[in-house]
Chains A and B, each alone.
Chain A
Amino acid sequence: MKTLLDIEEGQTVEIKEIKGGPCFKRRLAAVGIFPGSKVRVVKNAPGPIIVEVEKSRFALGRGMARRIVVR
């Protein structure tokens, strides 16, 4: 099972599943992070991970990124 944390910088991946409560999922879905959407990993080094979704950039905590399963 690969999560966002396993993705190299610069790669684009499709989100497979988001593990967590409904609030967590809704919050991410509102900015375009949901199963089926594509995100590009901009930075994956110590500290929050940076992803790009539909032209917006977000920094998310690594604990959060670990719960985002990708394919």
Chain B
Amino acid sequence: MKKKLIAALVGNPNVGKTAIMNMLAGTKAKVGNWPGVTVERKEGKYSFRGFEITLIDLPGIYSLTSYTIEERVTRNFLLNEQYDAVVNVIDATLLGRNLYLTLELLEMGVKPILALNKIDDIKKFSINFDKLSAIFNLPVISVSAYRNTGFSELSEKIIEVGLNGINGEVFRPTYSDLLEAAISEISMIINEDEQFKKNIRWFAIKLLEGDPEITEMAKQSKVSETLSKALSRIKTEFYERKGEELSSAIPKERFLMASRIARIVIETDYSFEEKEDFRDKVDRIITTPVTGIPIFFAIMAAVFKLTFTFSSPFVKLIGHIFGETLPTMVQSLPLPETLESLINNGVLAGVGSVLSFLPILFVLYILLSILEDTGYMARAAALWDNFMRHFGLSGSSVIPLILGFGCNVPAIYATRAMRSPVHKLITMMIIPWMSCSARLAVYSVFIAAFFQNNRTLIVLSLYTIGIVMGLIFAKIVSLFLVDEGEGEFFIELPSYKFPSLKVVFNQTIIEVKDFLSKAGTIILLASLIIWALASFPAGVRYAGEHSIAGMAGKWLLPLFKPLGINDWKPVVALLFGAVAKEIVVGTMGTLYGNAEMLPTILKTTFTPASAFAYIVFVLLYIPCIATISAIYQESGSKKWVTFIAVVELAVAWITAFAFYHGIKLFAG
């Protein structure tokens, strides 16, 4: 049996932790959420020299305070979980800033392996590894996901540290006299309480910094009274003597210490550059609305165009195989009718609809990771932030929302890149109203029947209704959800760079596999349920009047009468449309018995007003099963999924009702 080791990857955002994990664990990595929060959890296993190494990619953070959820997740993992080694991934081009986190790790008692990434990107200076290693007394190695170097050294170090630990005294950050006196005083006080004993100095520093979580913890302590008196006295004295607050003096000293160490180990010029460069101009153009918005739309248009151009032959192929080739083969087999129907209408339809998402997801993910890797995404978020704030969202919501027009499923997954859990949740709620391409299939049938002369106007109005409803809804929800300190926009704009195709490809494979294993099973299950509803009781015509689905359609019909719908068949189509919206058309084709003549048949059942109300309902009612399962997976909460489904159904009904009667009123 292999010996097992667990190594945690810690580092600032954008340092390349995920790229390193993807290179090591390859496409075997898994993505999920940390328990209870919507922060992404990436984990990967690989074998090296007879060891099975599990890598845990902790959320990217600048500091180990408990300000953001990412910081809390990372900190709690390092404090409370079992692991054998910690790899502190460092962006070598930003050594000074990255060492800040290293110092915090050391304060906390964690002895990390320092993995310097992006060494190739350094142009004007070089880093003396021996000096860096000597200062900290920690192993230092260089890795490059881009060039695929340093990975066996890193694995060897993980094994070595995992087995023997890091021996000897490591660097311990010491602060100015005044701060050190304060730290000792607080240490003396909390020394009386068992819960602080394992890491007294760290707790003392966090208390002086005013860390909310640790301060809360101290309130329950038996020394809380002495402690709070001492803290407030020390803080006042410090302010009187230094003219600055203690809580920011500690991070400031830590930052300066990190810069000093960086200056010692960096071997050539490290002066602060003040000159304007090309990057400034590009950044300004991209993030200023007048120039940035056209560029943004051009890029998104290109993303869509490429996604659908590259994926559509594969989508068609999958549709053909699962919709025609295989069903025909099954029909030719001597099978009982029910079994044949189960295979064709249940299993194959389900698997087919799962697989038909794959080409789209695959191409879209590749393009998105390229955009992310080049550094554009952060700038697009900066561009849109002001506008989105008005609706309780943030700049980072824009990309997922735009993606929703292509397909809601990848759009939901794209919210993974969002930092604020509240903004992420609200964005997920309104993505279903971004009219996806599957809904276009439904619109086109009704347009062919009723609105031939106003095609563009109708399609445009549907897109607009979705966007407007989404923004209004976001605004309302945001009034009830409190954003934890993430209200202000703050994002790093990483350097522009050329993406590594291998990293992009691996990342895409991981995400697609993730979709298959999680969303796929739910879609298949839903297809089987729908099949059962349409096939039973035994002997009825598939999805016909006497099937459970047909009876449900009739039973629900009174609910749709106020929307101008007088036939149970379109209602059944809506039930089936919950699996995937494009099924709405197919179901009506089956029920009315003639798919080609559908537009003509619809004219006998619908009026223009009720037709418009119906497509508005299709736009706004519960998203497809794949989207629902993606929302469940990303939010990790049944409560929110139910909320979204119920609210969206209600909004769909009310809006469709308003349009039906509105149109009747004005158009007679």
Q: Identify the interface centre among A30, A47, A48, A64: most chain B CB within 10 Å of its CB.
A: A30
Separation of A65 and B493 alpha carbons in the complex (Å):
16
Knowing A26-B67, A48-B386, A54-B94, the reply to whether A35 touches B252 (Cβ < 8 A) is yes
State the 4 A-B residue pairs at the shortest beta-carbon distance, nearest first.
A29-B251, A22-B247, A61-B489, A30-B63
Determine whether the beta carbon of B284 is less than 8 Å from that of A36. no
Determine whether the beta carbon of A61 is less than 8 Å from that of B247. no
Which residues of A are found within 8 Å of B63, using beta-carbon distances?
Answer: 26-27, 30
Separation of A59 and B376 alpha carbons in the complex (Å):
13
Which residue of B is nearest A59, CB measured? B382
Cβ of A50 within 8 Å of any chain B Cβ, yes or no, is yes
Which residue of B is nearest A55, CB measured? B94
CB distance from A19 to the nearest CB of B (A): 11
Separation of A31 and B432 alpha carbons in the complex (Å):
37
Knowing A12-B274, A48-B386, the reply to whether A57 touches B283 (Cβ < 8 A) is yes
Knowing A12-B274, A54-B97, A59-B287, the reply to whether A31 touches B62 (Cβ < 8 A) is yes
Q: Which A residues lie at the B interface, using CB under 8 A?
A: 9-10, 12, 18, 22-27, 29-32, 34-38, 40, 42-43, 45-48, 50, 54-64
Which residues of A are found within 8 Å of B493, using beta-carbon distances?
Answer: 50, 57-59
CB distance from A53 to the nearest CB of B (A): 8
Knowing A45-B288, A61-B385, the reply to whether A25 touches B245 (Cβ < 8 A) is yes
Cβ of B558 within 8 Å of any chain A Cβ, yes or no, is no
Which residues of B are found within 8 Å of A32, using beta-carbon distances?
Answer: 96-97, 255, 259
Determine whether the beta carbon of A26 is less than 8 Å from that of B251. yes
Which residues of B are found within 8 Å of A48, using beta-carbon distances?
Answer: 287, 382, 385-386, 395, 489, 491
Which residue of A is nearest B384, CB measured? A47
Determine whether the beta carbon of A47 is less than 8 Å from that of B284. no
Which residue of A is nearest B292, CB measured? A47
Within 8 A of A (CB), among B65-98: 65, 67, 93-94, 96-97
Separation of A27 and B488 alpha carbons in the complex (Å):
12
Determine whether the beta carbon of A64 is less than 8 Å from that of B490. yes
Determine whether the beta carbon of A22 is less than 8 Å from that of B382. no
Which residues of B are found within 8 Å of A43, using beta-carbon distances?
Answer: 280, 283-284, 287-288
Determine whether the beta carbon of A56 is less than 8 Å from that of B283. no
Determine whether the beta carbon of B96 is less than 8 Å from that of A30. no
Knowing A23-B65, A23-B67, A59-B382, the reply to whether A54 touches B248 (Cβ < 8 A) is no
Separation of A55 and B493 alpha carbons in the complex (Å):
11
Cβ 8 A contact of A30, one of B62, B93, B210, B383: B62
Separation of A17 and B276 alpha carbons in the complex (Å):
26
Beyond A22-B210, A50-B283: 4 further Cβ-contacts under 8 Å? A29-B254, A42-B284, A57-B493, A60-B490
Separation of A42 and B248 alpha carbons in the complex (Å):
25
Interface of B is mostly: helix
- Would you give 15 A-B contacts (Cβ < 8 Å), ordered by A? A10-B280, A23-B65, A23-B67, A23-B485, A25-B247, A29-B251, A32-B96, A34-B255, A47-B288, A48-B382, A48-B386, A54-B97, A55-B93, A56-B97, A59-B385
Which residues of B are found within 8 Å of A62, using beta-carbon distances?
Answer: 386
Which residues of A are found within 8 Å of B244, using beta-carbon distances?
Answer: 35
Determine whether the beta carbon of A27 is less than 8 Å from that of B274. no
Cβ of B209 within 8 Å of any chain A Cβ, yes or no, is yes
We find that the number of chain B residues with CB closer than 8 angstroms to chain A is 49
Which residues of B are found within 8 Å of A58, using beta-carbon distances?
Answer: 490-493
Within 8 A of A (CB), among B192-229: 209-210, 212
Cβ of B355 within 8 Å of any chain A Cβ, yes or no, is no
Cβ of B531 within 8 Å of any chain A Cβ, yes or no, is no
Cβ of B666 within 8 Å of any chain A Cβ, yes or no, is no
Separation of A24 and B488 alpha carbons in the complex (Å):
10
Which residues of B are found within 8 Å of A35, using beta-carbon distances?
Answer: 244, 248, 252
Determine whether the beta carbon of A27 is less than 8 Å from that of B67. yes
Cβ of B378 within 8 Å of any chain A Cβ, yes or no, is yes
Separation of A62 and B101 alpha carbons in the complex (Å):
27
Knowing A23-B212, A46-B289, A48-B386, the reply to whether A40 touches B274 (Cβ < 8 A) is yes
Which residues of A are found within 8 Å of B383, using beta-carbon distances?
Answer: 47
CB distance from A14 to the nearest CB of B (A): 12
Within 8 A of A (CB), among B259-303: 259, 272-274, 276, 280, 283-284, 287-289
Which residues of A are found within 8 Å of B289, using beta-carbon distances?
Answer: 46-47
Separation of A25 and B485 alpha carbons in the complex (Å):
12
CB distance from B636 to the nearest CB of A (A): 26
Knowing A10-B280, A61-B488, A63-B488, the reply to whether A31 touches B248 (Cβ < 8 A) is no
CB distance from B386 to the nearest CB of A (A): 5
Q: Identify the interface centre among A25, A26, A45: most chain B CB within 10 Å of its CB.
A: A26
Which residues of B are found within 8 Å of A56, using beta-carbon distances?
Answer: 94, 97, 492
Which residues of B are found within 8 Å of A55, using beta-carbon distances?
Answer: 93-94, 97, 273
CB distance from B457 to the nearest CB of A (A): 32
Cβ of B621 within 8 Å of any chain A Cβ, yes or no, is no
Cβ of B100 within 8 Å of any chain A Cβ, yes or no, is yes
Which residue of A is nearest B273, CB measured? A55
Determine whether the beta carbon of A54 is less than 8 Å from that of B251. no
Determine whether the beta carbon of A59 is less than 8 Å from that of B100. no
Knowing A18-B248, A34-B255, the reply to whether A10 touches B65 (Cβ < 8 A) is no
Which residue of B is nearest A45, CB measured? B288
CB distance from B380 to the nearest CB of A (A): 11
Which residue of B is nearest A50, CB measured? B283
Which residue of A is nearest B379, CB measured? A59
Separation of A58 and B212 alpha carbons in the complex (Å):
25
